[in-house]
Amino acid sequence: MTQNGSGETQPPLLEVNDLKVEFDTYGGTVQAVRGVSFSIEGGQTLAIVGESGCGKSVTVQTLMGLVPMPPGRLKSGTATLRGENILGQTQIGGKDFRGSEIGMIFQDPMTSLNPTMTIGRQIAETLEVHRGWSRKKSLARAVELLEMARIPEAAQRAKQYPFEFSGGMLQRAMIAMAIACEPAILIADEPTTALDVTIQAQVLDLMQDLQRDRGTAIILITHDLGVVARMADEVAVMYAGQIVERGSVDDIFYRPAHPYTVGLRAAMPSNNPAAEHRLLPIEGSPPDLFSPPVGCAYAARCPHAMRVCNTHDPAPFAVGKGHFGKCWLHHERVPGGAQRIVSAIAGATTGDVVQPASANQGDAR
Partner 1 sequence: MNTGKPLVMADGLTKYFPLPKGKKVHAVDGVDLTIYEREIVGLVGESGSGKTTFGKTIIGLLPKSGGTVSYRGETLPQRYKPADFRRQAQVMQMIFQDPYSSLNPRMTVGEIVGEGLKLHAGLSRNDTRDKVADWLTKVGLEPDYMSRYPHEFSGGQRQRIGIARALILEPEFVVCDEPISALDVSVQAQVVNLLEELQGSMGLTLLFIAHDLSMVRYISDRMAVMYLGALAEIGPAKDVFFNPKHPYTEILIASNPEPDPETERQRLSTTIAGEIPSPVDIPAGCRFAGRCPHAMERCRVETPQLLPLPENTDRQVACHLFA
Residues that bind partner 1 (CB under 8 A): 51-52, 166-169, 196-202, 204-205, 223-230, 232, 249-250, 253-254, 263-265, 267-273, 278-283, 285, 355, 357-358, 360-364
Between 110 and 181, whose beta carbon lies closer to partner 1? 110
Closest of 268, 258, 281, 263 to residue 227, by C-alpha:
268
Q: Which is nearer to partner 1, 17 or 193 (CB)?
A: 193
Q: For residues 13 and 105, which CB has a smaller minimum distance to partner 1 in the complex? A: 105
**Nearest CA to 288 among 328, 246, 240?**
240
Query: What's the min distance (Å) between Cβ of 136 and partner 1?
Result: 31
Residue 123 makes CB contacts below 8 A (sequence gap 6+) with 138, 141, 142, 145, 146, 158, 173, 176, 177, 180
Q: Nearest Cα to 285, choosing from 56, 54, 55?
A: 54
> Shortest distance, CB of residue 169 to partner 1, whole angstroms?
8
Cis before 109 (ω within 30): no
In b/e form, how buried is each residue of 51-83, taking b as 16+ CB within 10 angstroms? eebbbbbbbbbbbbbebeeeebebeebebbbbe
Nearest distance from C-beta of residue 120 to partner 1, angstroms: 20
Which residue, 1 or 275, has its beta carbon nearer to partner 1? 275
Q: Rounded to 5 degrees, what are φ and ψ at 272?
A: -90, 115
| Helices and strands (H, E) in the chain, number of each type | 12, 14
144 vs 224 by CB, closer to partner 1: 224
CA separation for the pair 214, 209 (Å, rounded): 9
Min separation Cβ 229 and partner 1, Å: 5
Closest distance to partner 1 from the beta carbon of 69 (Å): 27
* Residue with Cβ nearer partner 1 (9 or 271): 271
Whichever of 15 and 233 has its CB closer to partner 1, that residue is 233
* Whether the Cβ atoms of residue 125 and residue 138 lie closer than 8 Å to each other: yes
Minimum distance from CB of 2 to partner 1 (Å)? 23
> CB of 119: closest distance to partner 1 in angstroms?
16
d(CA 74, CA 23): 9
Burial grade of 95 (CB within 10 A; 0-12, 13-18, 19 or more): exposed
